């Protein structure tokens, strides 16, 4: 777990630094719609770009306007401070409007801060729809990016190589899926904080190393007996992108709650499904990344997402859903409200939270709301069991 | 929302107001002046429009007709499509579908009513839209979500890939009210073969969706008629832009608003042609006098608004321009990017043509036209890539000989707020003083108009522009 | 003897209530000090002397409010949302919807027949729509918060104030003062802006039944009357106790339930 924790909480983690020592390149990417398998196939370490360990956004604020999500601002802040100096490349994706503008802001910051823009700086244009022509576009984007990587890094990316990468990533995906299944049990043996940490580590660690450590951790989990979920409220965390362990910790350190599921872009949502290993690997990557419509950036697919979140809630026996959105994240903000309407109607308590990412996160404010939410769920379950009212768990 | 507001339909009240306004100029000047005293609130919008002469009068008729079309659509057996300003309604007219453009309906309420569209905007937040989402949709959308307007039958937007907050407003209302929805999606590039094809593929899918929703097949003869009219309108607009390039410009600031609002409401429809013709006639006559189109005739400064304009109560911004003798050279909404326009020559791939030779050619023309609508064209990609926002703005400020550049939007414009600071810096590097306004073009509660005005004045003074 | 206490340490004010057999025997409000612990100690000391008892007489005490985690004499802490629900229920047993405007937060709650929170919504990140907003504006206007509330009645045409951000609103108010706008119109604009922010939250929970307001802003007639217009419903008033101490009352009531529960067990 230590290596996962290191990878999840440090921008320059051991795993990346060790990889760098071997002289092999590292490329950062900004969105779960960009497939790391392609980089792996090129012998490059794909690292999901994050905004942890920031203490302000002064550099980023010089380029981004005031009405912009703090997540990309924190990424740019790290870039500006030279914290991404291990990157040989970066891939920017129009995941949302705040994120896509890291492209210009980073390049422009490079005019003021020497050497902060990686030599390979690439814009990967992901469409907002997965219908036939959207899929065609995405496949072409994959091919164009492969070509660009091949040219820049002087490597060859073969179908065989991509397939091998898919297989390797699938090994990790299968293990994460098993861990996810463990969280569905009545007695959960692993904390949400730990699972989240392990998942995030997977977005930055070299895959071989990650699979090996995950295997070890999993075998330990299989032997665990002690229930961590007894008399605890089972929560799901949903909403805007988050890679902050502290967010889950805030929920779990809090009295009697355990996080048993996530529906966010860094969590198991994206990592829990395998990619088809038969047939054309580009087609399979496209199908996996484009067809799921898991993010509200895929407009008009709310019903599909509602069905999916409900399934997750049922499977993990969730008592309440904490839905957060980073301020100015309109996509999750609006969708959280739709979820709240529909899930509350189905008897599932929901808490909507607007928050900031990184240094401006206001945990006191959040804590008040989370406490009250847990008290609400508690009062509800106490009423059901007609026990005398207890105020805190 | 206040209970009394729930007692009437928003579009009916505003439609009635505008239809009365359209009949208003029938009296003598004296009668008109007297009547103003009885409509103290509405006067702020009405008078500046009436003062533009015949064009203003036809423009009021156009607005009244727009509402009438919506209000009578269902009685006439037609479907209403809720859509966005950056979507060309020409195709809807070709398919006998009535457009209800959210931003137009928001802006009109905001300009005409003393309290703006606050109640409706807030209603959106009450049902769960974040307050950071764009106010331009949230106004009318509030009435729509509250069921206080003629029922919108289905929704089409063309902002995915261009503006998240815009697209999200339509996606949210579709999910909230369970309305059929089609999104036209745009890649971050334009002009290359691959993007052009994507435009057409997506557009064809959309036509299939609209045929299904409306029960009407696309009538190509009708489309040809409409495209002919669009062609004429494009050329009239180009003639108006030639006038706008003159120093001083003989066109009043408000003409810019009328050019784009008319296009968003009635592209390819005769009534819009009439507005353009009347403006052109007026402008040509004015040009002969050598006077500016401002009421004073004196143009002290030429302003280019690189994004959108300001639409709160009483046409505040427009009256400000008149008061200060500032000429207005248009904004991102004003330009149509027709292929024979002067300013597109150095912006390869930025323009569309109109080809009526075959059905496919017509469809292709519509798809490419729509891909060049405001915002859709300009802010789809990185601002500093060839042909995008920076190139376009530099080309326009040169052609129209602007003295300075003003950015105005809403806090919801996530996409431009993500790049406007570097953009402004680059404009400055090219010698154009650029001011970023932090207000909301549709909501004075974000920054009061008084404060906005003060900041504008400060900019002009500090930068030595006066 | 069943003596319990509730202590609500907020960001602007700190409140304490002592109850004996279900009746308030002492209550007090002070302006919060920089350190929550000092506020709690000070308000408790005062209320003990008012009730004429000593600390050892208290069977159970629950802390709530922003500084709740830093009070060392309490037996337990509970969120102020739950406490205000309970307190409102005690003040107005028919209340089903509760609006609480605190110094940093604004919340609306739906409560059940026992005062338990069924559903709640809290304001977003911004300070506008909170007690702090009014405090800042009153300071700029050079008047007390109580005076601010009365300005709405005197105003003929309230100004439209930038209300989404406290900093901008403050700049706006200064500008209006300098341009000679009557203070009552500015004050009314402040109250209207505040009410507008709160109304969104109230309407979002779809208020039902009797509506009750807790927290200090409940005493601002300007905000309350505008809010009533915006939500189209009357907000009930009671004389039983000051609505500002509702959170502390709720905390005391929850303490009492705790003691009774222990006895029952």
pLDDT digits (tens, 9 = 90+) for C235-252: 999 999 999 999 999 999
Note whether A66 contacts B160, CB cutoff 8 Å: no
ipTM for the assembly = 0.96
Question: Is some CB atom of chain B closer than 8 A to the CB atom of C180?
Answer: no
B412 touches chain A (CB under 8 A): yes
- C214 and C140 assigned to the same domain: yes
pLDDT value at residue C1:
61
pTM over 0.90: yes
Neighbour subunits, A (≥3 Cβ pairs < 8 A): B, C
Is-contact B183 B157, C-beta < 8 A?
A: yes
- Contact between residue A129 and residue B183 where contact means Cβ atoms under 8 Å apart: yes
Averaged pLDDT, A295-314: 96
pLDDT at C135: 87
- C34/C80 same-domain check: yes
The torsion angles phi and psi of C72, rounded to 5 degrees, stand at -90, -15
pLDDT of res. C110: 95
C228 and C247 share a domain?
Answer: no
Residue in B with minimal Cα distance to C193: B445
CB-CB neighbors (< 8 A) of A363 in chain C: none
Full 3-state SS string of B323-344: HHCEEECCCCCCCCCECCCHHH
With an 8 Å Cβ cutoff, are B129 and A333 in contact? yes
> To the nearest whole angstrom, how far is the Cα of C232 from the nearest Cα of chain B?
5
Instruction: Name the band, by pLDDT with cuts 50, 70 and 90, for residue A387.
Output: very low
Q: Smallest CA–CA separation between B218 and chain C, in Å?
A: 42
Kindly report the CA angle at C216 between C214 and C220, in degrees rounded to 5? 100
Same domain for C106 and C128: yes
| Same domain assignment for residues C75 and C202 | no
> E strands of B63-136, at which residues?
80-83, 98-101
Q: Is the pLDDT of residue B25 over 80?
A: no
Give the count of Cβ contacts less than 8 A between chain A and B: 146
Number of separate domains in chain C: 2
Cβ atoms of residues C7 and C43 within 8 Å: yes
Q: Name every chain A residue with its beta carbon within 8 A of the beta carbon of B164.
A: 96-97, 297, 330-331
A contacts of B188 (beta carbons < 8 Å): 94, 100, 123, 125
Q: Which of B82, B84, B124, B130 to mutate to test the interface with A (most CBs of A within 10 A)?
A: B130
Both C20 and C139 in one domain: the answer is no
Within 8 A of A321 by CB-CB distance, chain C residues are none
Looking at residues B412-434, what average pLDDT do you find? 97
Residues C49 and C122 in one domain: no
B448 and chain A in contact, CB less than 8 A: no
What is the structure's pLDDT at A388? 40
Nearest to C175 among B3, B444, B451 (CB): B451
Closest-CA distance, A301 to chain B, in angstroms, reads: 8
- Do C88 and C112 lie in one domain? The reply is no
Q: Given an 8 Å threshold on Cβ–Cβ distance, is A330 in contact with B171?
A: no
- Residues C81, C41, single domain; the answer is yes
Question: Which chain C residues touch B451 with a CB distance below 8 Å?
Answer: 162, 168, 171-172, 175
Residue A391 has pLDDT above 70, yes or no: no
Q: How far is CA B231 from CA B284, B335, B370, in A?
A: 21, 14, 14
Q: At how many degrees (to 10) do helices B270-289 and B220-245 cross?
A: 20
Q: Is the pLDDT score of B55 beyond 80?
A: yes
Say yes or no: C262 and C222 in one domain. Answer: no
CB-based contact, B2 to chain C, within 8 Å: yes
Instruction: Give the three-state DSSP class for A46.
Output: strand
Chain B residue with the nearest C-alpha to that of A96? B164
Nearest CA in chain C to A353: C124
CB-facing half-sphere around the CA of B94: CA atoms within 13 A? 27
CATH of A19-158 among 3.30.300.30, 3.40.640.10, 3.40.50.11890, 3.40.50.1950: 3.40.50.11890
Tens digit of each residue's pLDDT (9 = 90 or more) over C200-234 = 999 989 999 999 999 888 989 999 999 999 999 99
Evaluate if residue C102 carries a pLDDT over 90.
Answer: no
Confidence of residue B40 (pLDDT cuts 50, 70, 90): confident
Please name the residue of chain A whose CA is at the shortest distance from the CA of residue B382.
Answer: A104
Chain B contact partners (≥3 CB pairs within 8 A): A, C
Quick: pLDDT tens for A220-279. Answer: 999 999 999 999 999 999 999 999 999 999 999 876 899 999 999 887 776 678 999 999
User: How large is the average pLDDT for residues C52-77?
Assistant: 93
CB contact under 8 A, C175 and B450: yes
Give which of A240, A373, A389 to mutate to test C binding, by max C Cβ within 10 Å.
A389
And the tokens for B68?
């009438």
Distance from CA of A69 to the nearest CA of C (A): 13
The alpha-carbon gap from B132 to the nearest alpha carbon of chain C, in Å, equals 10
Q: State whether C115 and C166 are in the same domain.
A: yes
* Residue C213, domain extent: 95-237
- List of residues 6+ apart from B207 with CB closer than 8 A: B91, B95, B218, B363
Q: Any idea what the CATH number is for the domain that residue C21 is in?
A: 3.30.420.40
Inter-chain CB proximity A376 and C117 less than 8 Å: yes
Is the predicted pLDDT of residue B140 greater than 70, yes or no?
Answer: yes
Q: Quick one: what percent of chain B has pLDDT higher than 70?
A: 100
* Cα distance between residue A207 and residue A199, in whole Å: 12
> b vs e for B152-175, b when ≥16 Cβ sit within 10 Å of the residue's Cβ?
bbbbbbbbbbbbbbbbbbbbbbbb
- In this prediction, residues B355-366 reach a mean pLDDT of 98
What pLDDT, in 10s, does the model give residues C110-127? 999 999 999 998 887 566
In chain C, the residue whose alpha carbon lies closest to the alpha carbon of B452 is C172
C189 contacts on B by Cβ (under 8 Å): none
Both C164 and C120 in a single domain? Answer: yes
**What residues contact B408, with CB distance under 8 A and at least 6 apart?**
B305, B307, B308, B309, B310, B437, B439, B441
């Amino acid at each position: 777990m230590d290596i996962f924790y290191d990878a999840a909480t440090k921008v320059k983690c051991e795993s990346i630094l060790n990889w760098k020592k071997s002289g092999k390149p590292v490329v950062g990417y900004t969105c779960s719609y960009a497939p790391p398998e392609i980089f792996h196939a090129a012998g490059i370490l794909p690292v999901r770009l994050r905004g942890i360990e920031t203490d302000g956004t002064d550099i980023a604020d010089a380029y981004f306007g005031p009405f912009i999500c703090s997540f990309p601002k924190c990424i740019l802040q790290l870039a500006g401070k030279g914290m991404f100096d291990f990157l040989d490349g970066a891939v920017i994706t129009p995941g949302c409007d705040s994120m896509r503008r890291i492209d210009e802001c980073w390049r422009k910051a490079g005019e003021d801060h020497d050497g902060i823009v990686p030599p390979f700086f690439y814009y990967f244009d992901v469409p907002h729809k997965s219908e036939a022509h959207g899929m065609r576009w995405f496949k072409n984007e994959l091919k164009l990016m492969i070509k660009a990587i091949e040219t820049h890094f002087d490597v060859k990316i073969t179908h065989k190589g991509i397939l091998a990468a898919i297989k390797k990533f699938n090994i990790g995906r299968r293990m994460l899926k098993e861990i996810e299944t463990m969280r569905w049990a009545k007695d959960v043996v692993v904390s949400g904080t730990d699972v989240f940490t392990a998942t995030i580590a997977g977005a930055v660690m070299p895959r071989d190393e990650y699979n090996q450590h995950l295997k070890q951790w999993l075998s330990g989990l299989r032997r665990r007996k002690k229930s961590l979920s007894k008399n605890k409220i089972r929560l799901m965390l949903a909403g805007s992108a988050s890679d902050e362990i502290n967010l889950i910790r805030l929920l779990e350190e809090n009295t009697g709650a355990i996080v048993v599921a996530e529906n966010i872009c860094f969590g198991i949502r994206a990592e829990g499904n395998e990619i088809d290993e038969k047939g054309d690997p580009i087609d399979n990557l496209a199908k996996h990344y484009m067809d799921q419509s898991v993010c509200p950036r895929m407009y008009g697919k709310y019903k599909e997402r509602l069905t999916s979140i409900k399934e997750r809630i049922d499977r993990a026996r969730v008592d309440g859903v904490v839905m957060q959105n980073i301020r100015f994240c309109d996509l999750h903000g609006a969708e959280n409200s739709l979820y709240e309407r529909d899930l509350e109607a189905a008897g599932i308590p929901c808490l909507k939270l607007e928050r900031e990412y990184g240094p401006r996160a206001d945990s006191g404010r959040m804590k008040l709301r989370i406490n009250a939410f847990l008290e609400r769920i508690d009062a509800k379950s106490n009423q059901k069991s007609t026990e005398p009212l207890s105020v805190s768990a | 929302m206040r209970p009394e507001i729930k007692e009437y339909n928003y579009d009916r009240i505003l439609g009635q107001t505008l239809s009365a306004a359209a009949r208003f100029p029938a009296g003598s000047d004296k009668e008109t002046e007297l009547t103003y005293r009885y409509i103290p609130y509405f006067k702020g919008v009405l008078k500046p429009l009436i003062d533009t002469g015949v064009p203003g009068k036809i423009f009021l008729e156009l607005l009244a007709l727009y509402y009438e079309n919506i209000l009578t659509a269902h009685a006439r057996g037609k479907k209403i499509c809720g859509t966005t300003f950056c979507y060309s309604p020409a195709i809807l007219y070709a398919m006998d579908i009535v457009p209800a453009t959210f931003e137009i309906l928001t802006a009109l309420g905001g300009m005409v009513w003393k309290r703006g569209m606050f109640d409706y905007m807030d209603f959106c937040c009450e049902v769960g839209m974040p307050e950071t989402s764009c106010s331009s949709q949230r106004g009318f959308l509030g009435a729509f979500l509250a069921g206080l307007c003629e029922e919108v039958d289905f929704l089409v937007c063309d902002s995915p890939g261009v503006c998240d907050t815009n697209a999200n407003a339509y996606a949210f209302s579709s999910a909230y009210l369970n309305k059929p929805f089609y999104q036209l999606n745009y890649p971050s590039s334009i002009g290359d073969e691959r993007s052009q094809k994507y435009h057409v593929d997506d557009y064809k899918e959309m036509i299939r969706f609209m045929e299904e929703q409306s029960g009407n097949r696309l009538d190509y003869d009708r489309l040809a008629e409409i495209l002919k009219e669009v062609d004429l309108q494009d050329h009239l607009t180009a003639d108006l832009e030639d006038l706008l390039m003159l120093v001083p410009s003989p066109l009043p600031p408000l003409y810019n608003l009328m050019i784009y609002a008319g296009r968003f409401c009635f592209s390819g429809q005769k009534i819009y042609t009439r507005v353009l013709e009347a403006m052109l006639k007026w402008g040509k006559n004015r040009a002969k006098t050598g006077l500016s189109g401002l009421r004073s005739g004196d143009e002290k400064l030429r302003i280019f608004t690189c994004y959108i304009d300001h639409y709160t109560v009483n046409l505040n911004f427009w009256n400000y321009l008149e008061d200060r003798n500032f000429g207005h050279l248009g904004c991102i909404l004003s330009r149509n990017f027709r292929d024979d326009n002067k300013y597109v020559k150095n912006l390869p791939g930025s323009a569309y043509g109109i080809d009526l030779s075959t059905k496919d050619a017509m469809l292709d023309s519509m798809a490419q036209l729509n891909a060049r609508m405001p915002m859709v064209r300009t802010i789809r990609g990185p601002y500093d890539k060839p042909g995008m926002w920076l190139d376009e703005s530099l080309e326009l400020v040169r052609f129209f000989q602007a003295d300075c550049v003003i950015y105005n939007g809403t806090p919801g414009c996530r996409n431009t707020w993500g790049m406007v600071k570097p953009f402004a810096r680059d404009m400055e590097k090219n010698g154009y003083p650029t001011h970023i306004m932090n207000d909301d073009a549709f909501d004075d509660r974000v920054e009061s108009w008084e404060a906005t005005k003060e900041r504008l004045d400060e900019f002009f003074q500090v930068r030595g522009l006066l | 003897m069943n003596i319990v206490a509730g202590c609500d340490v907020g960001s602007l004010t700190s409140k304490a209530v002592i109850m004996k057999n279900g009746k308030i025997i002492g209550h007090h409000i002070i302006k919060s000090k920089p350190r929550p612990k000092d506020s709690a100690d000070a308000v408790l000391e005062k209320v003990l002397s008012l009730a004429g008892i000593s600390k050892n007489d208290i069977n159970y005490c629950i802390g709530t409010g922003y500084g709740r985690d830093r009070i060392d004499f309490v037996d337990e802490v509970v969120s102020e949302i739950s406490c205000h629900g309970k307190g409102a229920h005690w003040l107005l047993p028919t209340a089903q919807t509760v609006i609480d405007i605190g110094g940093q937060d604004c919340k609306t709650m739906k409560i059940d027949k026992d005062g338990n929170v069924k559903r709640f919504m809290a304001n977003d990140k911004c300070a506008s729509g909170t007690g702090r907003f009014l405090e800042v504006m009153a300071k700029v206007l050079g008047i007390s918060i109580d005076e601010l509330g009365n300005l709405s009645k005197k105003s003929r045409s309230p100004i439209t104030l930038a209300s989404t951000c406290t900093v901008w609103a403050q700049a706006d108010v200064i500008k209006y003062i300098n341009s000679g706008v009557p203070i009552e119109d500015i004050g009314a604009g402040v109250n209207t802006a505040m009410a507008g922010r709160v109304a969104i939250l109230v309407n979002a929970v779809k208020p039902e039944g009797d509506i009750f307001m807790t927290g200090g802003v409940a005493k601002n007639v300007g905000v309350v009357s505008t809010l009533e217009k915006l939500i189209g419903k009357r907000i009930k008033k009671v004389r039983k106790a000051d609505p500002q101490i509702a959170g502390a009352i709720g905390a005391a009531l929850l303490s009492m339930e705790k003691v009774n529960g222990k006895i029952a067990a």
